[in-house]
């Protein structure tokens, strides 16, 4: 197991906190502050402890070079607006000037370091870079679940240098997602969507051993439809059909019952349409593409969800970003929200869809980690978590 921030005496100490402030920006402002909001419990707890907070994060993909458009300054400003207080912003994340700023912090003050990925050493898990980060503080807290699947300097190497523990968001993510893999309340229904089968190979394999039902939608459903001999027209399809056949056979060899769409919403091209046309899966025209699950499938999937004890959802049911192909994702989300099941929604598009629909308060847990939640559901060890476990037992 690992220590959490509440297991450490951090009163009055300088604490280096890895947060996930990789927020979307528009016109120099934060356009979606969900990741900031998710980090507030840990930040507010440390402020109550009169700790001096040094927050660090990456933003975007600057590829190891300084890019003013990917500065964390707008994020620091938004954090200040949410907390109703001044937030200090550093010009870099290491160096003498940053050290001086940290030295001048008082208890309860918050300093946001500049984008970690302005330095190539961050993604290389560079020990010397980690030493420079660690020299800023007395202790380290990792609250960036969304980056826990990466062995980077700020998520991995630093934890080997300073007394380390998990933040409150990290703890909640690991507890809630861990329940799915440990003792889920049954029936356990897993819903998988998205474009590619290959993106979900590990999850499909692992959940097929654990779940009672697996509902498959999104673009990935058409590869399986093709394997069953159906015409799929211009729909998305994987090139490596042999691999997909292996995955399909393995999934069906376990306890889970796998459900594919029985009908789909179609269109001649990938764009929003004024009308919604649906056909049974075995009547797909060759000049059309499937862009959403159909009404019969929505009804079937919703009925299975209504009986669930646990629901895990990762991946949209169709091209939910455009009408009328958002219906499958919307209706499945509503079914999950209306159920009495323990419900966990993976990060990425599924989490975005739930929030977009205003249903996040009806879900037991909406994960902040796209890739991290996927890898955890695959049964993989996350470097940012494993190093916390190691330091806790050292």
Catalytic residue numbers, as ranges = 35, 196, 348, 371
Answer left, alpha or beta for residue 128, where phi above 0 means left and psi between -120 and 50 means alpha.
alpha
Cis peptide before 324 (omega within 30 of 0): yes
Backbone angles phi, psi at 234, to 5 degrees: -95, 15
Residue 6, number of CB atoms within 10 A of its CB: 14
CB atoms within 10 A of CB 286: 8
Of 176, 184, 186, 179, the closest CA to residue 304 belongs to 186
- Report which DSSP code applies to 155: I
- Beta strands of 35-94 (E only): which ranges? 52-56, 88-89
Tokens 């946001």 belong to residue? 112
Tokens, residue 388: 């916390």
User: Who's near 233: CB < 8 A, 6+ residues apart?
Assistant: 266, 284, 285, 286, 287, 288, 289, 290
Please check whether residue 312 is in contact with residue 346, taking contact to mean a CB–CB distance below 8 angstroms.
yes
As a residue count, the chain comes to 394
């Amino acid at each position: 197991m690992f220590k959490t921030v509440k297991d450490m005496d951090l009163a009055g100490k300088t604490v280096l906190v890895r947060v996930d402030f990789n927020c979307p920006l528009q016109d120099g402002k934060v356009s979606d502050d969900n990741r900031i909001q998710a980090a507030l419990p840990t930040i507010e707890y440390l402020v109550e402890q009169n700790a001096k907070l040094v927050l660090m994060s990456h933003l975007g993909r600057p590829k190891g070079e300084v890019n003013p458009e990917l500065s964390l300054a707008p994020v620091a400003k938004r954090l200040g607006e949410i907390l109703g207080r001044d937030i200090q912003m550093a010009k870099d994340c290491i160096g003498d000037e940053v050290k001086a700023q940290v030295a001048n912090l008082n208890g309860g003050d918050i300093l946001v370091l500049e984008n970690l990925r302005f330095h190539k050493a961050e993604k290389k898990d560079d020990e010397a870079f980690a030493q420079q980060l660690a020299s800023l503080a007395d202790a380290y807290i990792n609250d960036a679940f969304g980056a826990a699947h990466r062995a980077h300097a700020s998520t991995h190497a630093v934890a080997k240098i300073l007394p380390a523990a998990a933040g409150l968001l990290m703890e909640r993510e690991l507890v809630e997602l861990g329940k799915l893999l440990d003792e889920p309340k049954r029936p356990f229904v897993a819903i998988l969507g998205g474009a590619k089968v290959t993106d979900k190979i590990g999850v499909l394999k692992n959940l097929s051993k654990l779940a009672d039902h697996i509902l498959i939608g999104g673009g990935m459903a058409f590869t399986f439809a093709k394997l069953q001999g159906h015409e799929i027209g211009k729909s998305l399809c994987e090139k490596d059909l042999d691999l997909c056949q292996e995955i399909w056979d393995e999934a069906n060899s376990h306890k889970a019952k796998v459900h594919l769409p029985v009908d789909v919403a179609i269109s001649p091209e990938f764009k929003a349409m004024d009308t919604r046309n649906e056909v049974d899966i075995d009547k797909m025209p060759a000049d059309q593409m499937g862009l959403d699950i159909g009404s019969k499938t929505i009804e079937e999937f919703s009925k299975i969800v209504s009986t669930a004890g646990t629901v895990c959802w990762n991946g949209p049911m169709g091209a939910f970003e455009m009408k009328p192909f958002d219906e499958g994702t919307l209706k499945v989300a509503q079914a999950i929200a209306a159920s009495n099941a323990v419900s966990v929604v993976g990060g990425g598009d599924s989490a975005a869809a739930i929030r977009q629909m205003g249903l996040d308060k009806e879900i037991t847990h909406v994960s902040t980690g796209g890739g991290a939640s996927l890898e955890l559901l695959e049964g993989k060890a996350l470097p940012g978590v494993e190093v916390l476990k190691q330091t806790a037992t050292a």
